[in-house]
A and B are shown apart, each in its own frame.
Chain A
Amino acid sequence: MSEPTPSRDWERWQALWRRAGNAGAVAQDAPHQIARARRWLLVTRLVESAFAGAAILITAAALRHAGNPFEAALGLVVGVSIGLLWIRRIRLRDREDAGVADSSPGHLAVLESVRRQEVRLAHFIWIVLPLELAFLTPWWVIGSRVHHRSLTDPGSWQTVWLPILGMLALFVWSLRLRGRARAELRAIARLREQFNSLERGG
């Protein structure tokens, strides 16, 4: 039996391919899927905004009690840095969304750039967190002394433990962000190689 010609192969596969899928079912399900995705996006943004807002508020509260100009400057740097982290995160997400309508190699280039910046974002968090800790520690120590608060008082929960938990959560999140971004960078490099390697046999 002779081997089928290329056009016969494509015709056969095209016939199989095009009979798959159900546009009606997809169209019926689409509004629910989009609504679910939008809800999820909204919740994510709300959580991130609440987190950043709370961090800035706590820093501002501590800033009001800064004991000297150095502390005040440190608090200002920390507060601005938290704001920058938040804005950077939003802009990276928007940039990734905008790149989805590019050509595939263009989209991969955008993805690579965004993931690299996410790694940098994680590193920046690792700089901001110790600064925040250095800034808040005197406020915690002096505040507890002045207000005669033990570490288990409700006031301590609000001003000491909650910020510490927030910082821990941010640290864990930054670790995950960095790990995921680095793993994706490896996958993106592999895919870019495939798109670029035609002349070499891709």
Chain B
Amino acid sequence: MIRAHGDALERVAWGYVDNAPDREDLMQEILMALWRALPRFRGESSLRTFVLQVAHNRSITFATRRRPFADLPEEGLLPDPAPLVEERLIEQQDRDRLFRAIRRLPEAQRQAVMLHLEGLSQREIAALQETSEGNVGVRLTRARKALRALLVEEDG
């Protein structure tokens, strides 16, 4: 399971924390939560949705007790396994900017965006957020506008 979804778990963690020590702690909590929650999985959703649900919920718990984000988040948080030629470096910077912008979204929007980027349907996101598909659509539209503005602000 972790081999199949480990990259998604790592992305979820980076969506909630902005530095390596916190990421390490959060990953440990997510993995432990999954290990304990897996026996309760009844197949009502896909395993991927279940894994993301547990990861997001554990991250929310983590976020309620951690200090606010540092003013200057670390760069290059998510190293690409491919060699870092110039194009890759630029891409990595773009990715870091995207993660920083996502972390600045309000929680419900941030979660909807991260699940959407993972490829979950609006129906799956709605079930996870206990809301209607229409509301998820509205949340994503607002989040897209906010993200664009944040990315422009970062570029400036």
Contact = CB atoms under 8 A, between A and B. Distances in A.
Interface of A: 6, 9-10, 13-14, 16-27, 29-30, 33-34, 36-38, 41, 96-108, 111, 180, 183-184, 187-188, 191, 194-195, 197-199, 201-202
B7 A183 contact: no
Contact of B64 (A37, A188, A201, A202): A188
A101 B129 contact: no
Interface residues of B, number: 64
A17 B12 CA distance: 10
A102 B57 contact: yes
Nearest to A189: B64
A105 B29 CA distance: 20
B108 A111 contact: no
Contacts of A34: 28, 31-32, 35
A21 B27 CA distance: 12
Contacts of B14: 20-21
B7 A21 contact: yes
A37 B111 contact: no
- Give the interface SS of chain A, mostly helix, strand, loop or mixed: helix
B95 interface: yes
Given A100-B37, A188-B64, A23 B2 contact: yes
A104 B2 contact: no
A6 B108 contact: no
A45 to B, nearest CB: 14
A125 B5 CA distance: 43
A22 B32 contact: no
Nearest to A107: B57
Interface string B134-145: 010011011010
